[in-house]
Amino acid sequence: MKANEMTSMQRVLTTLSHKEPDRVPLFLLPTMHGAKELGLSIKDYFSKAENVVEGQLRLRKKYRNDCIYTFFYAPLEIEAFGGEVIYSDDGPPNSGIPFINAIEDIKNLQPPKIKETKALYKVLQATQKLKEAVGDEAPIIGVVMSPFSLPVMQLGFDKYLELMHFHSDLFNHLMQINEEFCVDWANAQLQAGATAICYFDPVSSTTIIPRNKYLETGFQIAKRTISRIAGPTATHFASGKCLSIVDDVSQTGTAVVGTSSLEDIGAMKQACRGKLTILGNLNGIEMRRWSSADVNLIVKETIQKAAPGGGFILSDNHGEIPFQVPDEALMAISEAVHTFGKYPISDF
Amino acid sequence: MDKQTIHSKGFEMALLALDQSKAESIIRKAVGEGSPMDVASKLVSDTLHRIGEAWEDGKLALSQVYMSGVICEAIIDKLLPPASPLRMDQPKMAIGVFEDYHLLGKRIIYSTLRASGFELMDLGGGLKTDHLVRIVQDEKIKILLLSVLMLPSALRVKEVKEKLADAQVKIVVGGAPFRLDNQLWLEVGADACGKDSADALEIVTKLMGEKV
């Protein structure tokens, strides 16, 4: 490390305080790529905490990443509730048929007990071991699915929208259960060593519900939930748009906003300046076929628009890099941020 | 402003307010002035098309598109039951979710097309390549609408297309990976790609016009 070079933690904390660090922090978020590193199938890789620990450490070193990411897969909480997880050889584990068959079943739903649930315990073990390995040198980002977005996998999206619009008592009951679980799950990860929690809330994005519905529902739930999480949070809309609700999102107590590649990053910067740090917004789907020249062009443009003044972390737009994105593209992104992301940002 | 436009504006407002009875009364009034099929294929279809476009432009949210489609489908099903001879004569069409169980996108397109007077089979979710290919061949489907959520599933549409090379079926794809990558549908050999319900209506109407 050079004399004036910051640690990843210093770099991230500086940008979060809306000041310019030594360079733009990079949160490359490959999850399944750890399986490639270890020569394991995706299913085997996620079967043991030790694999994910080794995978994350190798990936961080390889890509000179500024965080450790303890996200296993999206349906982890569904697995904890007793739902089905479907593994694939070349993609993220996915949720199966929703486990709540009839909305009346919500009345009998019980939240999982965290330490007695194998899938969750595995994540806590991985978090603890990763904390032992990196200490305070780099932030460890834990993940929760928001109480408001989890029902997409609990019930199915269509049934959930009908629940939200027409069955307010059952909707509120489900939110109570999910909120208690989400707070406990987030705090357990923080106790295990996570530095911050990424609060995935795609249903709150304006792609999915209009702002007035968000203010009645997802916004209130986020405010209540985030206020009880005993550490910093980042809200991620997983490719959903959020520009028109940035002011509202900033009032939920979150520090960071995960930004879609469908959003104008310059307009996002204007809206977030001084209020929220932007995390984003490289297109993970297109990234699969980016050449080095494409990477340089896109990374430079993103940095020029969003990095001045701090409050910016370069990342993908979804919170999970597709398995099909080749190493070359990820290495090129890392190289580009190390080359063009040094502060003060120049015009190139 | 002509009658159709007045009905359409009022109908759109009723749908976005989730006021099913108001929406139904507008449709019943319109049916008194034309045939049920005309109302479905013009008034309902135009309104849903506008709502779909407004989502694409970021003016409406997906929940509003979905709820509008469901309300329209329920109203039109009363006027034009699935087996009604008044429904249009069309090539066989089906819709399904390829390789997973996230059904919302499929449900929106299904409701939008049925409410616009089209008939289509719902193949459900979790469809795997060989099973899907067999259904298309057995049922002699001519237009296959496939919704996907994950990138690997989107890439495997190519296999479906290759295995159906002799079946004279047009494959129309949609879903998150195709919305985020404009070139992906061409890469997997799909015949068309719809980003929203408005696109789906346009594509299906065009294919129907060509009688596939």
Cβ–Cβ contact B123 with A under 8 A: no
Report how far residue A257's alpha carbon sits from residue A188's, in angstroms, rounded to the nearest whole number: 22
> A-chain residues within 8 Å CB-CB of B60?
210
- Amino acid B89: pLDDT: 73
Quick check: A164 and B61 CB within 8 A?
no
Q: For residues A80 and A120, is the Cβ–Cβ distance under 8 A?
A: yes
Nearest CA in chain B to A90: B152
Sort out which chain A residues have CB atoms less than 8 A from B74's CB and list them: none
Residue identified by tokens 């007045």 is B6
Confidence of residue A25 (pLDDT cuts 50, 70, 90): very high
Q: What is the mean pLDDT of residues B173-193?
A: 97
Question: Contact, A23 vs A343, CB < 8 A?
Answer: yes
- How much is the ipTM here? 0.91
> Would you call B61 and A156 a contact, using CB atoms and an 8 Å cutoff?
no
pLDDT exceeds cutoff 90 at B211 = no
Beta bridge partners of A278: A257, A312
| Pairing status of strand A26-27 against strand A312-316 | parallel
Tokens 């190139």 locate to A348
**A8-340 CATH fold:** TIM Barrel (3.20.20)
Give chain B positions within 8 Å (CB) of A157.
102-104
pLDDT at position A348, please?
A: 67
C-beta atoms of B153 and A91 within 8 A: yes
Please name the residue of chain A whose CA is at the shortest distance from the CA of residue B183. Answer: A286
Pair B142, B113: CB distance under 8 Å: no
Residues linked to residue A23 through DSSP beta bridges, in sequence order: A342
> What are A184-243's pLDDT values in tens digits?
999 999 999 999 999 999 999 999 999 999 999 999 999 999 999 999 999 999 999 999
User: At residue A315, does pLDDT exceed 90?
Assistant: yes
CATH number of B93-209: 3.40.50.280
pLDDT of residue A228: 98
Provide the pLDDT for residue B1.
56
Determine, for residues B152 and A90 on separate chains, whether the beta-carbon distance falls below 8 Å. Answer: yes
- Could you tell me the sign of the dihedral formed by the alpha carbons of B180, B183, B189, B192, in that order? positive
- Phi and psi torsions of A139, nearest 5°: -70, 145
Q: Are B68 and B77 in contact (CB under 8 A)?
A: no
* Spatial CB neighbours of A169, under 8 Å, sequence gap ≥ 6: none
Q: What is the pLDDT of residue A3?
A: 66
Tokens of A211: 């702002």
Residues A306-311, mean pLDDT to the nearest whole number: 98
Domain boundaries, chain B: 3-79, 93-209
Whole-number average pLDDT of chain A: 97
Q: Report the CATH number of the B3-79 domain.
A: 1.10.1240.10
Q: Which of B68, B151, B156, B185 to mutate to test the interface with A (most CBs of A within 10 A)?
A: B151
Chains A and B form CB pairs within 8 A to the count of 84
Give me A221's structure tokens.
Answer: 């739930």
Task: Give backbone dihedrals phi and psi of A279, rounded to 5 degrees, phi first.
Answer: -115, 115
Q: Do B63 and A213 touch (CB under 8 A)?
A: yes
Query: How far does B210 lie from chain A, in Å, by closest CA?
Result: 33
- For residue A62, pLDDT over 90 is answered with yes
Per DSSP, which regions of A87-146 are E strands? 94-95, 140-145
Alpha-carbon distance A137 to nearest alpha carbon in chain B (angstroms): 34
Distance from the B209 Cα atom to the nearest Cα atom in chain A, whole angstroms: 31
Does the structure show a pLDDT above 80 at B212? no
Sequence-ordered list of residues with C-beta below 8 angstroms from that of A237, at least 6 positions apart, any chain? A201, A202, A204, A205, A207, A257, A258, A259, A260
Chain A neighbors of B180, CB-CB under 8 A: 239, 261-262, 283-286, 317
**pLDDT, tens digit, for every residue of A147-188?**
999 999 999 999 999 999 999 999 999 999 999 999 999 999
Which residue in the set A95, A262, A285 is minimally distant from B101, CB to CB? A95
B4 pLDDT above the threshold of 90: no
Report whether pLDDT(B179) > 60. yes
